[in-house]
Structure 1
């Protein structure tokens, strides 16, 4: 059976009320590859029934711009509205994931929307993984600072050892105190910013 025939028969079974059709993970991931589609499906999941496309677009724009619906700029709303109207919602509608009445501007979850729900939530495992990633990025940043101070300290003491005129004339106690002070400053900043 060809992929086209399978798609046609799957569509006809959905039209006849058979909602047991399972999308492949490849299909699900393909449809979820766009953040706007994920946001749209998440918004629809949070609503009890049909929503106006304008409200959906505003909330998606707010999430994209990390702000509230009230604080959105006109161009931020318009950019998201147009992309949803022309591309993302029709694509989801064609796959029976949503029911989109473009002429009335009404959107609701379709028969296959439930299959996307597990991918729309940040469960405890995912948020732990995100937290671990953020911690790793933070520790990498501080490691970089320590590495630079170590390089500067080594360079300073190499300059003293090689008798570089300006640096070698400074007392060794002063250079040592400056090195310890730099490490103390970075350690204090790291502790204070946690």
Structure 2
């Protein structure tokens, strides 16, 4: 790994991360390793990627072979050099490496992986319901100024959003 692959904090440089994730086969390797949570053989990874790329199961032999060669010669050594995966080229097995966690924010598409999104959404809905209940004359809520309710809800939303942004900036979620 070159020193230029890291930023001042010792993390992978954002340009390096984008370069790694720009390639579909590397993304598929990382997704497969994250899903399995265990080491995978290069053959199994090639089979999976060839299925995705060809849309056939089992994939054509020539596609599987092309994927296998590109993984073995190009993609896995690059990921191994950056410590994103641990690649044993003799045993032909791959597992997630120490810096793989730094790519998480770029790979997460599942809303369940964004814990603050649901909290922010729920807070907004609750605030909207309270303001509407006040305007409709609900007994207890009608006595509270709707501007105060809106202000409190906006402050909570800002705090939750700020916490999520802070964690994203530190690559913790």
Query: How high is the TM-score relative to the length of structure 1?
Result: 0.51
Distance in 1, matches of 2:81 and 2:20, equals 11
1:111 to 98, 102, 126: 98
Distance in 1, matches of 2:102 and 2:56, equals 29
Q: Is residue 75 of structure 1 aligned with residue 48 of structure 2?
A: no
Q: Is residue 122 of structure 1 aligned with residue 98 of structure 2?
A: no
| 1:22 partner SS | coil
Distance in 1, matches of 2:87 and 2:10, equals 20
Distance in 2, matches of 1:110 and 1:116, equals 11
- 1:122-161 paired onto structure 2 within 5 Å: 122-123=109-110
Q: Is residue 23 of structure 1 aligned with residue 2 of structure 2?
A: no
May I ask how many residue pairs the two structures share in their alignment?
108
Change (3 A) 1:42 1:22: same
Moved over 4 A (4+): none
**2:122 match:** none
Structure whose CA Rg is larger? 1
Gaps of 5+ in 2: 112-173
CA shift, 1:103, in A, is: 0.8
CA shift, 1:63, in A, is: 1.3
Q: Is residue 45 of structure 1 aligned with residue 34 of structure 2?
A: yes
Gaps of 5+ in 1: 11-19, 125-194
**Once superposed, what is the RMSD of the aligned Cα atoms?**
2.0
CA shift, 1:7, in A, is: 5.2
CA shift, 1:89, in A, is: 0.3
User: For 1:35-67, what per-residue CA distance to the aligned partner results, in whole angstroms no more than 9, with x for missing partners?
Assistant: 110111111111122111110111111112233
